[in-house]
Amino acid sequence: MAAEDRPQINLITPPSFQTDLFPDQLARVLDAVEIACLRISLATKNIDDQGLAADICRDIAHQRDVAVVIDNHLLLVERHGLDGVHLTDGARSVRKARKDLGQDAIIGAHCGITRHEGMNAAEAGADYVAFGPVGETGLGDGSQVDWELFEWWSEVIEVPVIAEGALTPALITRFAPVTDHFAIGEEIWRAEDPVAALKTLIAPLG
């Protein structure tokens, strides 16, 4: 695949991590593979834990010129010097996020498997729209995004689209021609060597 057509890679943090071990893991991944954006996606509702994670991830990513967004927490973006927010409620909060964070912030929206929600997010001013899961997760109701949604989006909509959720090398091969980015997280963090796991996963991109 030609370099200009190759989807970019976004990295998602694990839902929790040890602050004495994860920074080194993250740095090694960012040094080994070109990453377009790092998304902080923690399960905790503790503001101190979220803030600490934001500071750790920002320092490591910004040293490597990698943008950093955080799931949903608009207030933490400016407070911790992040580049934007990744909204997990589809199009509902896009306009407010843009108003609060300004034109220069990155605002992305995860729109599940719904084309209509994605179109609404794009029209509301999202910088990108993410759909997923692409693969089988065993969670939720088992719904997956159709390949045809990405094919249609890549032909009709200019706003960049991200494929994510239970990715495999086979799915990367299939979706590469119709997506702008792959977002990868839990697929690699469970592995003993996340760098090796990521390289194996994206090997089909060449």
Interval 74-90 mean pLDDT = 97
With a cut of 90, say whether residue 194 has pLDDT above it: yes
Residue range of the domain that includes 147: 3-205
Interval 84-88 mean pLDDT = 98
Phi/psi for 132 (5° steps) reads: 175, 165
Rounded CA-CA distance 190/125 in Å is 34
With a cut of 70, say whether residue 206 has pLDDT above it: yes
Rounded CA-CA distance 146/143 in Å is 9
Integer-rounded Cα Rg, in Å, for the chain is: 16
Q: What is the pLDDT of residues 52-62, one digit of tens each?
A: 999 999 999 99
User: 184: closest CA among 138, 149, 132?
Assistant: 132
Give the count of domains, the chain: 1
Query: What pLDDT does residue 5 have?
Result: 81
pLDDT band at 126 (very low <50, low <70, confident <90, very high): very high
Which residues lie below 8 Å from residue 65, measured CB to CB, with a gap of 6+?
Answer: none
Whether 44 and 50 have beta carbons less than 8 Å apart is answered as: yes
Q: Where are the beta strands (DSSP E) in the chain?
A: 8-12, 37-40, 67-71, 84-87, 106-110, 128-131, 161-164, 181-184
CATH number of 112's domain: 3.20.20.70
